[in-house]
Amino acid sequence: MIGGGAAGTPMVLSRFAVRLALALAGALGLSLGIAACSPSGPEIAIAAGSENKVLEPLVQEFCKSRGAKCGFNYQGSLDIGFGLKSATAPLQADVVWPAASIWIDLFDENRKVKHLASVSQSPVILGVRKSKAEALGWTRDEVTTADIVAAVEKGDLKFLMSSATQSNSGAGAYLAMLTTAVGKGDVLTSGDLSSPDVRQKARALLAGVERSSGSSGWLGDLFLDQDKRGVRYDAMWNYEAVLKETNDALVARRSEPLWLVYPKDGVAVSDGPIGYLDRGRGKDVESFVLDLQKFLASAEIRKRIAATGRRLPLGAGDNAPPVADWNFDPSRPITAVRPPEPKVIWDALNLYQEALRLPSLSALCLDVSGSMEGEGIRQLHEAASFLFTPQTTRALLVQWSAEDRIIAIPFSSVPGKAEQGTGVPADQDRLKAWGLQLRAGGGTDMYSCARSALQAMAADLGTGRFLPAIVIMTDGQSQGSPESFLRDWRQDGHRVPVFGITFGDADRSQLERLASETGGRIFDGRSGLVEAFRAVRGYN
């Protein structure tokens, strides 16, 4: 007992014990601090949809607290699904975090994903410039899918929407369109997909697509970037939370916000699930993922998730406050469409790609300069074989339709002769044979090829029936000047986006100039041209 006893001796011993305890505690604290500063925990690979990027700091907090090194690889939900399904190129991740669990149900045939749990929810809705929404009468009354179709058919509305076959937000919007077109308030069936009326309604709504993409996050960035440049898009289909983020940025720069439209007959809801992917790394990694789920479900972290505009599971806490000026309200009751069976989803996605989406007008500028000799030209042949073989493109939901227009132009110091075709089998065979005969030689001038591409597209651009894109694949530094193309691009006035694919020693800054000016994007083809061309297909 400290403090009692004779001659005060116990007090001396007590003070010595306290000093010793403090010294030991300090040493222990120092050792713990050193351990906490070094990443002694596991390395965790996380495959996540781009819409989850805003939540990465929360996950990194948890990882840091465990001394773990967590690496994020942002992919489309369908890319995550394909990785779960593939035996030859399996997903290299310990944690999967797609936008919605339907992609796990559709692709995880061997049930490798365990402990799937929803982190947050976000409906896929339509954000419309407020002045446009007022002109349409949508700020006064509830809006139905039929109202949106009517606005598109009258030419009063165009919108951005990610690809239904490459992005969850696009797929969600599209599946909701089909379900509400059926009009019976029930789950979509295979029989519904055969209905001419359902197809016509979906096709009529998809005719309003002005720009497409393979990523909902990138689509939001495009809207903001083009707004800064004075390009005013009418509207965008996206997650409620992404539309809030977009409005936050628009208001901060004193630009007109979006009015959020919640179609009263039904919307798709993304459930943001996170799960453990069992790839044989053991119980420690599995326990880490389970603890991460508990961390994300804690009251304090849920508050921070709600602040981003995402909806919390029912009874899990308060959602973000509404913003009346935007019609944003994450506590608003909505009519959620039920996801169909996996086979129906797959059939619906193929129907979108082959028959219902707005046809693409694609001009491919293919570098065949001397530096492509050897491995470069071999990979280009491989990419041509992939692009123009219907069985391979269909397996990844990037197949061409009979209505698509394809213009392929080889270039070195000057553009070569263009080869043109469509998605019909005979044209695909001819384009593939042409691509396999390409040979390398000469210098590099991608700007002259881009000008030739714009000229070759001119007749079809005037019809307004296509989603256009110029795709430039190059492995070097281009001769010529970007202004030689951009001058023609501005005069043309159709705002055709330029997408770049880098390969070898390509000068990325040259492609970035074209992509930035035209609202395009750059893809890295150094790890494989096939994958780069597949990714580009989601944007056209």
Segment 275-330, tens digit of pLDDT: 999 999 999 999 999 999 999 999 999 999 999 999 998 888 899 999 999 999 99
State mean pLDDT over 102-119.
94
Neighbours of 241 (CB within 10 A): 27
Nearest partner of 449 among 493, 402, 498, 522, judged by Cα: 498
Model confidence at 334, pLDDT cuts 50, 70, 90, reads very high
Nearest partner of 518 among 538, 537, 539, 534, judged by Cα: 539
* Per-residue pLDDT, 23: 39
Nearest partner of 338 among 216, 526, 176, judged by Cα: 176
In 3-state terms the chain splits into helix, strand, coil percentages (rounded to 5) of 45, 15, 35
One-letter amino acid of 217: G
Nearest partner of 124 among 3, 257, 272, 241, judged by Cα: 241
Interatomic CA distance for residues 240 and 221, integer angstroms: 15
Place of tokens 């509400």: 180
pLDDT tens for 64-74 read: 999 999 999 99
Helix 168-182 with 342-351: angle, nearest 10 deg? 100
Provide the phi-psi class of 166: left if phi over 0, else alpha when psi is between -120 and 50, else beta. Answer: alpha
Model confidence at 422, pLDDT cuts 50, 70, 90, reads very high
One-letter amino acid of 396: L
Residue 144, token pair as written in the block: 């139905």
* Per-residue pLDDT, 316: 86
**Residue ranges of the chain that CATH labels 3.40.50.410:** 359-537
Model confidence at 11, pLDDT cuts 50, 70, 90, reads very low
* Per-residue pLDDT, 58: 98
* Per-residue pLDDT, 283: 94
**Residue ranges of the chain that CATH labels 3.40.190.10:** 43-120+272-306, 122-270+324-347
Nearest partner of 388 among 355, 420, 352, judged by Cα: 420
pTM of the predicted structure, to 2 decimals: 0.89
* Per-residue pLDDT, 22: 36
SS3 224: helix
* Per-residue pLDDT, 219: 94
* Upper half-sphere CA count for residue 517 (Cβ side, 13 Å): 17
* Per-residue pLDDT, 50: 87
Who has greater pLDDT, 8 or 498? 498
What is the assigned CATH class of domain 359-537? Answer: alpha beta
Q: List CB contacts of 19: < 8 A, sequence separation 6 or more.
A: none
For the chain, first and last CA: distance in Å? Answer: 80
Residue 129, token pair as written in the block: 């410039």
**Longest pairwise C-alpha distance within the chain:** 107
Provide the phi-psi class of 493: left if phi over 0, else alpha when psi is between -120 and 50, else beta. Answer: left
- Taking 70 as the threshold, does the pLDDT of residue 35 lie above it? no
Neighbours of 430 (CB within 10 A): 15
- Taking 90 as the threshold, does the pLDDT of residue 198 lie above it? yes
Interatomic CA distance for residues 230 and 228, integer angstroms: 5
Q: What percent of the chain has pLDDT over 70?
A: 93
* Per CATH, domain 43-120+272-306 is 3.40.190.10: yes
Neighbours of 200 (CB within 10 A): 13
Helix (H) or strand (E) holding 500: strand 498-502
Q: How many residues does the chain have?
A: 540
Who has greater pLDDT, 96 or 50? 96
Residue 470, token pair as written in the block: 């110029």
Who has greater pLDDT, 77 or 398? 398
Contact 242, 215 (CB under 8 A): no
* Per CATH, domain 122-270+324-347 is 3.40.50.150: no
Contact 163, 538 (CB under 8 A): yes
- Taking 60 as the threshold, does the pLDDT of residue 24 lie above it? no
Interatomic CA distance for residues 363 and 471, integer angstroms: 6
Model confidence at 17, pLDDT cuts 50, 70, 90, reads very low
Model confidence at 40, pLDDT cuts 50, 70, 90, reads low
Neighbours of 318 (CB within 10 A): 11
